[in-house]
Amino acid sequence: MSELTYRAWREGDDLALNELWGDPETYQSGQFRAAFAPNSVGRNGGGTDDGGSTVTDGSWRRCIVAEDQGIPVAAGVVYETRLHPERLWAYLEVARDHRRAGVGATLLTMLRREAERAPSGVRALRTKVEPGTPGAAFAQAAGLRQLQRSRIVRVQPGALRLPVFGDGSEAAATARVQDLATGSVELTDVVGRYYADVHQWDATGVLPPGTVQRLFLDDLSGAHGAVVLRQTPESAFGATVAPSKKGSLQAFAVSYSQGATDEPTDVFLGHEPALPAGEAVAAVRDLLALIAHQYPVVLELDDSMAALSAVVEPMLASSAAQVLGAETLVVGD
């Protein structure tokens, strides 16, 4: 291998590199390749991506290409995002026949130097890898530590016993379990606070309602329905007087499946962050039992989702739920 040269990304590099690299080795690689693009000076502190794999026009970005005798063989990118602003996303990929020759280490050093000039002042990096892959080994050798583990889990139908609400009547169940429009202000508020709460390891800050809607609840997000579990409504005038308000929202399940399909429904399941731990677990269990009573559902399970983990981990142990595909690790400084 001759001595490599390094330069900024140019239009057309993606075609040359993808032809050399071939198919992405992992799901994360396929996502991150979309972030390779010409440098951008940034606008208003960064882009608006949903957590690490794509970057929008206007975000600060630096992308470097390594060439061997004029042929692109490797590339690295570092960029800012608004949703998780405390670290910069970074990714690099090296052609198989150029690995273990210091190319990746050189690119990482260059990306860190570029990061020192990020407009936000943020210097720490993060990326996503799969355990047991060359990318994970490289990240470990580079000193990046595990920040989070994420798994995609399929829950089998009927895996949990259906809950009984109040006296077991239809009226008692209707007061607790309801369909809710995805444009609901109440739902938007709880979804945003829940996402921020379970991402304290990579803080988001306060999420504006418009951001929550765009990422999780509007048509472009794929959301098409929501079911919520409420607290038992109570009257301020005693048990003999009917409550005038609905009970506050305890848990939510947003569905992302569109139309008739034999595939399990993708669901974002969460709870009111202010609930005590035991109540949060109970609410999540009850709602999951309802939505997965007849049909399987697929959930994203992060280790930081304590209540959902408490419900799903025993199901994984008993094979009532299964992990689909490989785990995803977020690693960083």
* Of the candidate ranges 55-64, 127-136, 169-178, 205-214, the one whose mean pLDDT is the lowest: 55-64
- 198 and 72 part of one domain: no
- 115 and 41 part of one domain: yes
Q: What is the pLDDT of residue 246?
A: 80
Q: Is the pLDDT of residue 216 over 60?
A: yes
Cα separation, 193 vs 27, in Å, equals 28
- 188 and 271 part of one domain: yes
Single residue among 143, 169, 187 that ends a domain in this structure: 143
Q: What is the pLDDT of residue 250?
A: 95
Q: Write down the pTM of the prediction.
A: 0.87
Average pLDDT over residues 234-257: 70
Mean of all residue pLDDT scores within the chain: 89
Cα separation, 53 vs 48, in Å, equals 11
CATH of the domain at 43: 3.40.630.30
What token pair was written down for 287? 């709602």
* Of the candidate ranges 43-57, 97-111, 196-210, the one whose mean pLDDT is the lowest: 43-57
- State which residues form the domain around 175: 152-326
Task: Give domain status of residue 198, yes or no.
Answer: yes
> Could you give the residue ranges of the DSSP H alpha helices within the chain?
13-21, 27-32, 103-115, 134-141, 170-176, 185-198, 209-212, 277-291, 306-317
Q: What is the pLDDT of residue 206?
A: 82
pLDDT tens column, 179-203? 999 999 999 999 999 999 999 999 9
Q: Is the pLDDT of residue 171 over 50?
A: yes
* Of the candidate ranges 36-40, 253-257, 268-272, 329-333, the one whose mean pLDDT is the lowest: 253-257
- 133 and 165 part of one domain: no
Q: How confident is the model at residue 126 (pLDDT cuts 50, 70, 90)?
A: very high
In the chain, pLDDT over 90 holds for what percent of residues?
74
- 315 and 190 part of one domain: yes
Q: What are phi and psi of 180, to 5 degrees?
A: -140, 135
Q: Is the pLDDT of residue 124 over 60?
A: yes
How far is Cα of residue 170 from the mean position of the Cα atoms in its chain? Answer: 36
pLDDT tens column, 61-76? 999 999 999 999 999 9
Task: Give domain status of residue 30, yes or no.
Answer: yes
Q: Is the pLDDT of residue 110 over 60?
A: yes
Q: What is the pLDDT of residue 260?
A: 53
Burial 291-310 (b: 16+ CB within 10 A, else e): bbeeebbbbebbbbbebbbb
Task: Give domain status of residue 244, yes or no.
Answer: yes
More confident residue, 277 or 41: 277
* Of the candidate ranges 30-34, 163-167, 317-321, the one whose mean pLDDT is the lowest: 163-167
Q: How confident is the model at residue 45 (pLDDT cuts 50, 70, 90)?
A: very low
- 56 and 82 part of one domain: yes
- 240 and 264 part of one domain: yes
Q: Is the pLDDT of residue 47 over 60?
A: no
Question: Would you say 64 and 76 are in contact if contact means Cβ atoms under 8 Å apart?
Answer: yes
Q: Helices 306-317 and 277-291 sit at what angle, rounded to 10 degrees?
A: 60
Task: Give domain status of residue 331, yes or no.
Answer: no
